[in-house]
Chain A
Amino acid sequence: MRDVAIVGAGMVPFGKYQEKTLADIAWPAVKQAVEDAGIKKTDIEATYCGTALGGMMAGQRILKKLGITGLPIINIENACSSSSTAFREAWITVAAGVYDAVLVIGVEKLTKFGGGTLPLEKEDWEVSHGLVMPALYAMRARRYMHEYGLTENDIADVSVKARKHGVWNEDAQFRKEVTREEVLASRPVADPLKLFHCCPSGDGAAAVVICSAEKAKQYSASPIRVIGSEINSGKYMTGYRDMTSPEITLRGAKELYEEAGIGPEDVDLAEVHDAFAIAELLYYEALGFCAKGDAAKLLADGETSVGGKIPVNPSGGLLSKGHPIGSTGVAQIVEIVRQLRGQCGQRQVEGAKVGLTHCTGGGVSGFDHGVCSIHLFAR
């Protein structure tokens, strides 16, 4: 396998673009990534486009706007991990030597559903019985509170940190700080989770251009290397399972660190899948940033804020940046690229050399999550 690097990154600010088509939301992100790479559009050999609910041929609909056509365009659905999966598949083709330069897109338009909880597949028996994503995370939260003494204040503080980081990110949907009291006073969604514990619904797109490491040098003075790529499906469990322990993330992180030959202590910052505030705490532990049961302390000590030992979601995370689900995986990667290049202004993690992205996708009964993809990057 060849080394692979990212040479271009772009995204549009996440928000509500009800009046725009999916293609019109996405093409500026793609153009930005291509121009950032300084690559001729004719040198792009293939495109992988991740979207969960964007409909058929999303990649073709976007790329015809920019005249990037006549190449393989592969559309990928994998719930919230759609575009992290697309990135992984693109990485395989470049690493394997099939292509030298590949474009990866993540895109979603959730405003077309008119708000509310994410529409899930009704063939699933839990979904058809009323399960919604906030309820699933809420049950994880309640069990974790019971077993480890986590408090509602601790969970609220995840949102407070996320909103603080979001103020510094011009691509974030929410750019205003909130207090713990405001989080706790927001309307209940799925007890103990309140509205401000939940990522906002919205639209957005992100894109990156990847190359073989050798070819990357001709485009970028500071290519960002992909030093680990991991994807897994959850294990189907019909019986009892420990909902305080995200098995797919634990398993994936272990495999990824082994593959990359580094450990969690070597990671300088991470973008993790904080669709709901409780999730970020579970992932501190699953990704090895702290021991089981110590997540609230890691947060309270400021270690996961910008300026701490292991800043998590300096972009504001899904809680502030927003979560147009198919866009999220690539948008996380865009943040890591910009951080490792030192382009992040007030939210810059000083001296960052190694970054991690973590993206799950769920909503299928019997799984912790249906999918999880984790990547490691270095400058």
Chain B
Amino acid sequence: MSQELQEALNLAGDAVTTDSDGTVRLVGSECGDCNKNVFPPTAVCPECMSENLAPIKLSAEGKLYSWSVVHAAPKGWNLPFIAAYVDLPEEVRVFAHIVDVDPDSLEMEMPVVARIAALGTEESGAPFESYAFTPVQKGNS
């Protein structure tokens, strides 16, 4: 993952985690005072300004709110890619790429699951990896 993205996500290696069974989970912040959930992780609650926040593992599965097949983007991204908003059950909406799917098969509200995917190429030529979502396979959910 690029330095820029790590900084923007405030990742420090802990905004995406993989469970022992291989399930990829995003990690947000939960406010200990007002219970608001936020992604990416933050040091201060945007609802009540409390700094009493703890990491919260978000659900691996969410629902597709909307998407677009993007053909024009800054250098480095694998084009075209599918940009999307995914709603997680913890009342968090996440911007994400949708991968490994024919865009014509996407449907509103369809269940999607988190995974790690190569989304582009670093300036060094190395693949650029981050979290993404893919439709839940029938019989695999």
Contact = CB atoms under 8 A, between A and B. Distances in A.
Given A125-B9, A240-B87, A139 B67 contact: yes
B68 A142 contact: yes
A125 B77 CA distance: 15
A187 B77 contact: no
B97 A124 contact: no
Count chain B CB atoms within 10 A of each CB in A140, A142, A192, A241 and give the residue with the most.
A142
Contacts of B8: 122-125, 127-129
B55 interface: no
B12 interface: no
Interface stretch (A29-37, A65-73, A130-138, A370-378): A130-138
B126 to A, nearest CB: 17
A124 B72 CA distance: 19
Nearest to A125: B8
Given A117-B73, A189-B71, A238-B36, A139 B66 contact: yes
Given A116-B72, A191-B71, A241-B93, A128 B83 contact: no
A134 B73 CA distance: 9
Interface in B41-91: 46, 65-74, 77, 80-81, 83-85, 87, 91
Q: Say whether chain A's binding surface is mostly helix, strand, loop, or mixed.
A: loop
Contacts of A143: 65-66, 108
A130 B97 contact: yes
A138 B92 contact: no
A148 interface: no
Interface residues of B, number: 41
Interface of A: 116-117, 119, 122-132, 134-135, 138-140, 142-143, 146, 187-193, 236, 238-241, 243, 365
Given A238-B36, A239-B92, A190 B71 contact: yes
Contacts of B67: 139, 142
Given A130-B81, A134-B70, A190-B83, 13 more contacts: A123-B7, A124-B8, A125-B10, A128-B8, A128-B9, A130-B77, A132-B73, A135-B70, A135-B73, A143-B108, A188-B80, A190-B69, A240-B91
B66 A243 contact: yes
A233 to B, nearest CB: 13
Given A142-B67, A239-B91, A129 B74 contact: no
Contacts of B108: 143, 146
Contacts of A238: 36-39, 46, 92-93
B85 A139 contact: yes
Contact of A139 (B38, B46, B68, B97): B68
9 contacts: A117-B74, A125-B10, A127-B8, A128-B8, A134-B68, A139-B65, A187-B71, A190-B69, A239-B91
Interface string B1-14: 01011011110000
Contacts of B119: 130
B130 interface: yes
B97 A128 contact: no
A158 B70 CA distance: 21
Nearest to A128: B8
User: 10 nearest interchain CB pairs?
Assistant: A138-B68, A128-B8, A191-B69, A139-B66, A143-B66, A239-B91, A126-B95, A135-B83, A125-B8, A190-B68
Contacts of A122: 4, 8
A130 to B, nearest CB: 5
B5 A128 contact: yes
Nearest to A121: B8
Count chain A CB atoms within 10 A of each CB in B40, B68, B74, B80 and give the residue with the most.
B68
A243 B66 CA distance: 9
A364 to B, nearest CB: 12
B136 interface: no
Contacts of B72: 116-117, 132, 134, 189-190
